[in-house]
Homo-oligomer: A and B are copies of this chain.
Amino acid sequence: MTTATAQATVIGKEQLLKHWQGHRNLTRRVIEAFPEKDLFEFSVAGMRPFSDLAIELLSIGGPALRAIVDRAATPYSEEGIAPKTKEALLKLWDAETETINTYFERIPEEDFSQTFNLFGQYEFPIYQNIFYFIDNEIHHRGQGYVYLRALNIQPPFFWER
Protein backbone atom coordinates (compact mmCIF):
# COMPACT_ATOMS: atom_id res chain seq x y z
CA MET A 1 0.00 0.00 0.00
CA THR A 2 1.43 3.38 -0.97
CA THR A 3 1.17 6.48 1.19
CA ALA A 4 -1.33 7.92 -1.26
CA THR A 5 -3.80 5.04 -0.98
CA ALA A 6 -3.31 4.94 2.81
CA GLN A 7 -4.74 8.49 2.84
CA ALA A 8 -7.85 7.11 1.19
CA THR A 9 -10.61 9.44 0.19
CA VAL A 10 -13.51 9.16 2.59
CA ILE A 11 -15.51 11.58 0.43
CA GLY A 12 -14.57 12.44 -3.12
CA LYS A 13 -15.32 15.50 -5.20
CA GLU A 14 -18.19 14.01 -7.19
CA GLN A 15 -19.74 12.56 -4.02
CA LEU A 16 -19.65 15.97 -2.37
CA LEU A 17 -21.35 17.64 -5.36
CA LYS A 18 -24.00 14.91 -5.51
CA HIS A 19 -24.58 15.30 -1.76
CA TRP A 20 -25.05 19.05 -2.10
CA GLN A 21 -27.32 18.86 -5.14
CA GLY A 22 -29.39 16.20 -3.34
CA HIS A 23 -29.93 18.69 -0.52
CA ARG A 24 -30.73 21.45 -3.01
CA ASN A 25 -33.31 19.18 -4.60
CA LEU A 26 -34.98 18.69 -1.22
CA THR A 27 -34.92 22.44 -0.54
CA ARG A 28 -36.56 22.97 -3.93
CA ARG A 29 -39.41 20.72 -2.82
CA VAL A 30 -39.74 22.64 0.44
CA ILE A 31 -40.10 25.87 -1.60
CA GLU A 32 -42.75 24.14 -3.72
CA ALA A 33 -44.62 22.98 -0.62
CA PHE A 34 -45.34 26.56 0.53
CA PRO A 35 -48.52 28.26 -0.63
CA GLU A 36 -47.53 31.24 -2.80
CA LYS A 37 -48.49 33.89 -0.24
CA ASP A 38 -46.97 32.09 2.76
CA LEU A 39 -43.68 31.57 0.95
CA PHE A 40 -43.21 35.34 0.91
CA GLU A 41 -45.04 36.35 4.09
CA PHE A 42 -45.35 33.60 6.68
CA SER A 43 -42.87 32.98 9.44
CA VAL A 44 -42.65 31.94 13.07
CA ALA A 45 -41.30 34.05 15.94
CA GLY A 46 -40.54 37.08 13.78
CA MET A 47 -37.99 35.21 11.66
CA ARG A 48 -37.57 35.73 7.91
CA PRO A 49 -40.11 34.12 5.57
CA PHE A 50 -38.83 31.10 3.65
CA SER A 51 -38.44 33.08 0.41
CA ASP A 52 -35.85 35.28 2.16
CA LEU A 53 -34.00 32.22 3.42
CA ALA A 54 -34.00 30.82 -0.14
CA ILE A 55 -32.68 34.15 -1.46
CA GLU A 56 -29.84 33.91 1.07
CA LEU A 57 -29.03 30.42 -0.20
CA LEU A 58 -29.08 31.63 -3.82
CA SER A 59 -26.74 34.47 -2.84
CA ILE A 60 -24.23 31.98 -1.44
CA GLY A 61 -24.04 28.79 -3.57
CA GLY A 62 -23.43 30.01 -7.11
CA PRO A 63 -21.74 33.34 -6.33
CA ALA A 64 -19.46 31.73 -3.74
CA LEU A 65 -18.32 28.95 -6.09
CA ARG A 66 -17.65 31.50 -8.81
CA ALA A 67 -15.57 33.52 -6.33
CA ILE A 68 -13.67 30.40 -5.31
CA VAL A 69 -12.86 29.51 -8.92
CA ASP A 70 -11.76 33.08 -9.68
CA ARG A 71 -10.19 33.61 -6.24
CA ALA A 72 -12.19 36.82 -6.18
CA ALA A 73 -12.88 38.79 -2.99
CA THR A 74 -16.46 39.58 -4.14
CA PRO A 75 -18.45 40.54 -1.03
CA TYR A 76 -21.66 38.76 -0.05
CA SER A 77 -24.68 40.40 -1.68
CA GLU A 78 -28.34 39.60 -2.21
CA GLU A 79 -28.65 42.46 -4.71
CA GLY A 80 -30.46 41.58 -7.90
CA ILE A 81 -31.91 38.38 -6.42
CA ALA A 82 -35.49 39.43 -5.74
CA PRO A 83 -38.02 36.95 -7.14
CA LYS A 84 -41.60 38.03 -6.55
CA THR A 85 -43.34 34.71 -7.26
CA LYS A 86 -42.72 31.08 -6.41
CA GLU A 87 -42.25 30.35 -10.11
CA ALA A 88 -39.58 33.05 -10.43
CA LEU A 89 -37.81 31.73 -7.32
CA LEU A 90 -37.82 28.16 -8.64
CA LYS A 91 -36.48 29.38 -11.98
CA LEU A 92 -33.55 31.05 -10.19
CA TRP A 93 -33.09 27.90 -8.15
CA ASP A 94 -32.83 25.73 -11.26
CA ALA A 95 -30.48 28.13 -13.01
CA GLU A 96 -28.24 28.03 -9.94
CA THR A 97 -28.21 24.23 -10.06
CA GLU A 98 -26.41 24.51 -13.41
CA THR A 99 -24.12 27.29 -12.19
CA ILE A 100 -23.08 25.16 -9.24
CA ASN A 101 -22.40 22.13 -11.43
CA THR A 102 -20.32 24.24 -13.80
CA TYR A 103 -18.16 26.01 -11.23
CA PHE A 104 -17.78 23.06 -8.88
CA GLU A 105 -16.24 21.09 -11.75
CA ARG A 106 -13.64 23.81 -12.19
CA ILE A 107 -12.24 23.44 -8.68
CA PRO A 108 -9.27 21.06 -8.91
CA GLU A 109 -9.40 18.31 -6.28
CA GLU A 110 -6.09 19.40 -4.80
CA ASP A 111 -7.53 22.89 -4.15
CA PHE A 112 -10.19 21.71 -1.67
CA SER A 113 -7.73 21.85 1.22
CA GLN A 114 -6.45 25.31 0.21
CA THR A 115 -7.50 28.30 2.26
CA PHE A 116 -9.64 30.98 0.62
CA ASN A 117 -11.05 34.17 2.12
CA LEU A 118 -14.66 33.82 0.94
CA PHE A 119 -16.61 37.04 0.46
CA GLY A 120 -13.48 38.74 1.77
CA GLN A 121 -14.34 37.63 5.29
CA TYR A 122 -14.53 33.84 5.80
CA GLU A 123 -10.99 32.53 5.62
CA PHE A 124 -11.20 28.75 5.66
CA PRO A 125 -10.13 25.76 3.57
CA ILE A 126 -12.37 25.52 0.50
CA TYR A 127 -13.85 22.18 1.59
CA GLN A 128 -14.98 23.85 4.84
CA ASN A 129 -16.53 26.72 2.93
CA ILE A 130 -18.51 24.24 0.82
CA PHE A 131 -19.56 22.29 3.92
CA TYR A 132 -20.76 25.60 5.31
CA PHE A 133 -22.97 26.23 2.25
CA ILE A 134 -24.60 22.83 2.67
CA ASP A 135 -24.95 23.08 6.46
CA ASN A 136 -26.41 26.56 6.26
CA GLU A 137 -28.98 25.27 3.76
CA ILE A 138 -29.96 22.32 5.98
CA HIS A 139 -30.19 24.69 8.96
CA HIS A 140 -32.52 27.15 7.24
CA ARG A 141 -34.52 24.38 5.62
CA GLY A 142 -35.07 22.88 9.09
CA GLN A 143 -36.63 26.23 10.01
CA GLY A 144 -38.79 25.99 6.89
CA TYR A 145 -40.03 22.60 8.12
CA VAL A 146 -41.31 24.29 11.29
CA TYR A 147 -43.05 26.96 9.19
CA LEU A 148 -44.74 24.25 7.11
CA ARG A 149 -45.82 22.35 10.25
CA ALA A 150 -47.20 25.60 11.68
CA LEU A 151 -49.17 25.96 8.42
CA ASN A 152 -50.46 22.40 8.82
CA ILE A 153 -48.57 21.31 5.71
CA GLN A 154 -46.68 18.01 5.63
CA PRO A 155 -43.07 18.76 4.64
CA PRO A 156 -41.28 16.44 2.17
CA PHE A 157 -39.46 13.50 3.76
CA PHE A 158 -36.02 14.58 4.95
CA TRP A 159 -34.32 11.52 3.49
CA GLU A 160 -35.75 12.00 -0.01
CA ARG A 161 -33.23 13.80 -2.16
A binding-site residues for B, Cβ under 8 Å: 2, 4-13, 15-16, 19, 23, 44-47, 109-110, 112-113, 127-128, 131-132, 135-136, 138-143, 145-146, 149-150, 158-159
Contact = CB atoms under 8 A, between A and B. Distances in A.
Copies of this chain: 2
Contacts of A150: 44-45
B146 A44 contact: yes
A127 B10 contact: yes
Nearest to A47: B149
Given A4-B5, A11-B127, A142-B143, 10 more contacts: A8-B9, A9-B9, A9-B112, A10-B16, A11-B131, A15-B127, A44-B44, A45-B150, A138-B142, A139-B145
A39 to B, nearest CB: 17
A16 B9 contact: no
Query: DSSP majority for the A interface?
Result: helix
B146 A45 contact: yes
Contact of A9 (B10, B135, B142, B143): B10
A2 B110 CA distance: 13
Given A142-B140, A142-B142, A158-B136, A11 B16 contact: yes
